[in-house]
Amino acid sequence: MTADIYDLGSSATPWRYFWHPVCTLNELREAKPGGRGPLQSTLLGERIGVAEIGGKVVAFADRCPHRGAALTLGWAEDDGLRCRYHGWCYDTEGRCIEVPALEPDTPIPARAQVTMYDCEVKYDLVWVRLDSRADTSIPEFPAWEDGSQRCIMGEPYLWPCSAGRRVENFIDTTHFPYAHQGTLGAPPNVVFPVFPVDQLPGRLEFETETFLAYNPGDNTYGPPNSPESTFLPPATYVVQMPFTTVLKFTWSETFQTQIYMHPTPIDGETCRSYWFTCHSHDGSADEVHLQLQDMVLGEDLPVVASHLPRRIGEAHEEVSVPTDRSSILWRKWLRELAHAGERGPEELMRCLDTTNIESEVTAPAS
Ligand code: FES
Ligand SMILES: [Fe+2]
């Protein structure tokens, strides 16, 4: 059993301090008749539940303190969450407020308390933080909040790889001519510069120049042209540590696109990615943008699902080169965050604000 080992040999502990989406708002609405859940999910190896009670979306350990049954088998009621087994009912703080089998006025044991987690709805996603002792924030998504672009939520996808593997795939540019041969890239356009990477509080950023690739042709990007055509314009990659990635392309002064993606660690070797494709308001059909992403993801999946191990291992198990710079820096910070998180929330927050990784790291030549 290796699922309790996360990227770079870390435990789940550091990642419990961060916010992760556990379902879409729509999935919660559709989980049960009535539209309030409960819905079962898994986050960092823990079985959790989400429900709307009294107008508030709450997240809880999916275990009834009475006999350990899954509370998500039960019902969300106006004032509480009711267990399907013996009908105990819990309020939004997790306190048991009713034990139907008891005569009225019989005291309810104080230990009849469900573990509740921080929970917020943002960007039509339900975000959960398992450990509230660090002052982390839900990752930013400016295009959604300021309405500057049309943001379309894609169907979340479950991949047999760690969250870290998914992040690295997302910020990797040199796989374009091979994993996306004939779509996002193609030989002979295979040589890439080593892009400088900026480390800012809580985030890594780097910019790519325009590079030669191949335009598959569609309604958005114009008719197909030759493999020598310029397809991918300058791009900005952002990783909000540890796992939220944003990729912005500037096609022209008036047309920009971006992809926002967060792979939620289900366990150490499985992640479920929540994502959006966004574009300047140009009236194009949502399907055009979703289909492009479906194609790209379909090309990535077999490769990413084939990694051994399914999580990121130790440096000596893989060989890096200078053009892997973004992933080398991100791994270094991830490892430092993991170590800091094991020492506690204050150390974790200090590490999240650090800005010295770029100067410390030299990409190995072999
Ligand atoms: S197990 Fe939930 S009420 Fe008994
Ligand atoms: Fe890819």
What percentage of residues in the chain have a pLDDT greater than 70?
90
Which of 253-257, 317-321, 344-348 has the highest average model confidence (pLDDT)?
344-348
Question: Atom 3 (ligand 1): residue with closest C-alpha?
Answer: 86
Residue 355 scores a pLDDT above 90: no
The confidence band for 214, taking pLDDT boundaries of 50, 70 and 90, is: low
Residue 361 scores a pLDDT above 50: no
User: What's the average model confidence in pLDDT over 254-281?
Assistant: 96
User: What's the average model confidence in pLDDT over 67-86?
Assistant: 97
85 touches ligand 1 (CB under 6 Å): yes
- For residue 89, the CA-to-ligand 1 centroid distance in Å is 9
Instruction: Note the Cα 288 to chain centre separation in Å.
Output: 23
**What's the chain's length in residues?**
366
C-alpha 357/C-alpha 91 separation (Å) is 45
The confidence band for 152, taking pLDDT boundaries of 50, 70 and 90, is: very high
Secondary structure (3-state) at 156: coil
Residue 216: C-alpha distances to residues 161, 190, 296, 299 (Å): 28, 17, 11, 14
Question: Atom 1 (ligand 1): residue with closest C-alpha?
Answer: 67
CA atoms within 13 A on the CB side of 327: 24
Residue 1 scores a pLDDT above 50: no
User: Is residue 271 within 8 Å of residue 161, measured between CB atoms?
Assistant: yes
Residue 229 scores a pLDDT above 70: no
- For residue 70, the CA-to-ligand 1 centroid distance in Å is 8
Residue 72 scores a pLDDT above 50: yes
C-alpha 194/C-alpha 72 separation (Å) is 49
86 touches ligand 1 (CB under 6 Å): yes
Atom of ligand 1 nearest to the CA of 99: 3
Burial 32-45 (b: 16+ CB within 10 A, else e): beeebbbbbbbbbb
Closest CA to 249 of 296, 285, 202: 296
- For residue 105, the CA-to-ligand 1 centroid distance in Å is 19
- For residue 271, the CA-to-ligand 2 centroid distance in Å is 16
Q: 364 preceded by cis ω (within 30°)?
A: no
- Give the ligand at the shortest distance from the Cα of 64: 1
The confidence band for 237, taking pLDDT boundaries of 50, 70 and 90, is: very high
The preferred substitution site among 60, 63, 64 for testing ligand 1, maximizing ligand atoms within 8 Å of CB, is 64
Residue 292: C-alpha distances to residues 180, 281, 308, 327 (Å): 12, 17, 28, 25
pLDDT of residue 182: 75
Range of weakest confidence among 102-106, 162-166, 339-343, 355-359: 355-359
Residue 164 scores a pLDDT above 80: yes
C-alpha 242/C-alpha 164 separation (Å) is 8
- For residue 149, the CA-to-ligand 2 centroid distance in Å is 23
The confidence band for 363, taking pLDDT boundaries of 50, 70 and 90, is: very low
CA gyration radius for the chain?
23
Residue 327 scores a pLDDT above 90: yes
Residue 36 scores a pLDDT above 80: yes
Question: Atom 4 (ligand 1): residue with closest C-alpha?
Answer: 86
pLDDT of residue 357: 62
Atom of ligand 1 nearest to the CA of 83: 2
C-alpha 279/C-alpha 289 separation (Å) is 8
Residue 362 scores a pLDDT above 50: no
- Give the ligand at the shortest distance from the Cα of 184: 2
Domains belonging to the chain, first-starting first, are 19-129 (2.102.10.10), 142-360 (3.90.380.10)
C-alpha 273/C-alpha 265 separation (Å) is 9
pLDDT of residue 358: 55
Q: Which amino acid is at 259?
A: I
Mean pLDDT across the chain = 91
pLDDT of residue 216: 53
Instruction: Note the Cα 38 to chain centre separation in Å.
Output: 22
pLDDT of residue 18: 98
- For residue 334, the CA-to-ligand 2 centroid distance in Å is 21
Residue 364 scores a pLDDT above 90: no
C-alpha 215/C-alpha 228 separation (Å) is 9
Atom of ligand 1 nearest to the CA of 71: 2
The confidence band for 323, taking pLDDT boundaries of 50, 70 and 90, is: very high
User: What's the average model confidence in pLDDT over 320-331?
Assistant: 94
User: Is residue 58 within 8 Å of residue 64, measured between CB atoms?
Assistant: no
User: What's the average model confidence in pLDDT over 65-81?
Assistant: 97
64 touches ligand 1 (CB under 6 Å): yes
The string of pLDDT tens digits covering residues 6-31 is 999 999 999 999 999 999 999 999 99
66 touches ligand 1 (CB under 6 Å): yes
- For residue 245, the CA-to-ligand 2 centroid distance in Å is 13
The preferred substitution site among 60, 62, 66 for testing ligand 1, maximizing ligand atoms within 8 Å of CB, is 66
The confidence band for 360, taking pLDDT boundaries of 50, 70 and 90, is: very low
What percentage of residues in the chain have a pLDDT greater than 90?
78
